[in-house]
Amino acid sequence: MIVGDLKPIEEIEASIRDCPRVLVLGCRGCVTVCNTGGEKEVSVLASQLRIASQARREQREVREETIERQCDFEYIEALLPQISDVDAVVSLACGAGVQHVAEVAAGLQRPIQVVPGVNTTFLGAALEQGVWGERCQGCGNCVLEITGGICPIARCSKSLLNGPCGGSSEGKCEIDPEVDCAWQLIYDRLSVLGKLENMTRVLPTRDWSTSRDGGPRTRVIEELRK
Ligand code: SF4
Ligand code: SF4
C-alpha cells in the first residue's frame, strides 16, 4: 500500500490562502488504511481549518467529502458538482490521487486549486498496529525470487544488489543502527530456505529503465481497454 503523512496544518493553510470555499477531499484507499486521508482525517482537518479561519476572523466555508479512490477518474467525476463549487480542494490522497483530481479540476470552467494535504512517502506494509515499513520501490523488475522475498532495493540503505557493503554490525545497518541490515536478513532467510547459493549469484549491471530512471511509466492491459 501507499503510505503517507499528513502535512503540517500551517503548510496546508498557506496553500489555500485567499480561498473562501474549500473542499477537504479524502480517499478510501491506502490513505484510509494508514490513517492519513480517510473520512476521519478529513473531518479532523476540516475542523482545524474552520477553527483557524475563525481565529483570524476570516469568512471561509470548509466542506468535506471522501470518495472511493482519487486515482480513478470514475469516482472523481461523480463529485464534479461539489468540486466545481469551491475555490480549492485539499486532497488527502497520495500524490497520484492529487494529480488526478487536479487534472479533472483543470477541465472546469473556472480555476480551482487542488493542493496536497499529504506527503506521500513510500510503498509499504503494516508491521504492527500503527507502524508501516518501506518494502518496495516499484523498480519494475522484481528480484525477490533470488533474495528470499526481501527487497534489497527498498530495504538496504544503499540499495545494494550483490551482497552487503561490509559495514553492518550485529545484524544492523551501518547507516542506522535501528534498521536491520537487509543483506543480513536476506542471508538468514536464504539459509532457512536452503538457498544460500543465491548469495554467490552475481546479478549483472541492472537496467534501471524499468524503474523511474526510464521516465514516467504506463501500464496497459489491452483487453481492459474499451
Ligand atoms: S525488487 Fe523491485 S519490484 Fe521487487 S520489491 Fe524490490 S523494488 Fe519492489
Ligand atoms: S549495512 Fe546492510 S543494509 Fe546497511 S547499507 Fe550495508 S548492506 Fe545495506
Question: What Å distances lie between residue 46 and 6, 122, 159, CA to CA?
Answer: 13, 25, 39
Per-residue model confidence (pLDDT) at position 214: 87
Cβ–Cβ < 8 Å for 98, 26: no
Cβ(96) – ligand 1 distance below 6 Å: no
Cβ(183) – ligand 2 distance below 6 Å: yes
Mutate to test the pocket of ligand 1, among 122, 142, 212 (most ligand atoms within 8 A of CB): 142
Give me the residues paired with residue 66 across strands.
Answer: 26
Q: Residue 204: is its pLDDT beyond 90?
A: yes
Q: Residue 226: is its pLDDT beyond 80?
A: no
Q: Residue 225: is its pLDDT beyond 90?
A: no
The domain limits of the chain are 2-122, 139-214
Ligand index nearest the alpha carbon of residue 124? 1
Mean pLDDT of the chain: 96
The three cell numbers locating residue 129: 498496529
Question: Residue 111: which residues within 8 A CB-CB, separation 6 or more?
Answer: none
Mutate to test the pocket of ligand 1, among 135, 136, 141, 213 (most ligand atoms within 8 A of CB): 136
Q: If you average pLDDT over residues 163-171, what whole number do you get?
A: 96
Q: Using CA atoms, how far apart are residues 164 and 174, in angstroms rounded to an integer? A: 11
55-95 tens-digit pLDDT: 999 999 999 999 999 999 999 999 999 999 999 999 999 99
* Residues recorded for the chain: 226
Q: What is the CATH number of domain 2-122?
A: 3.40.50.2300
Say how many Å lie between the CA of residue 165 and the centre of ligand 2: 6
Q: Backbone phi, then psi, for 127, in 5-degree steps?
A: -95, -35
Cα Rg of the chain (Å, integer): 22
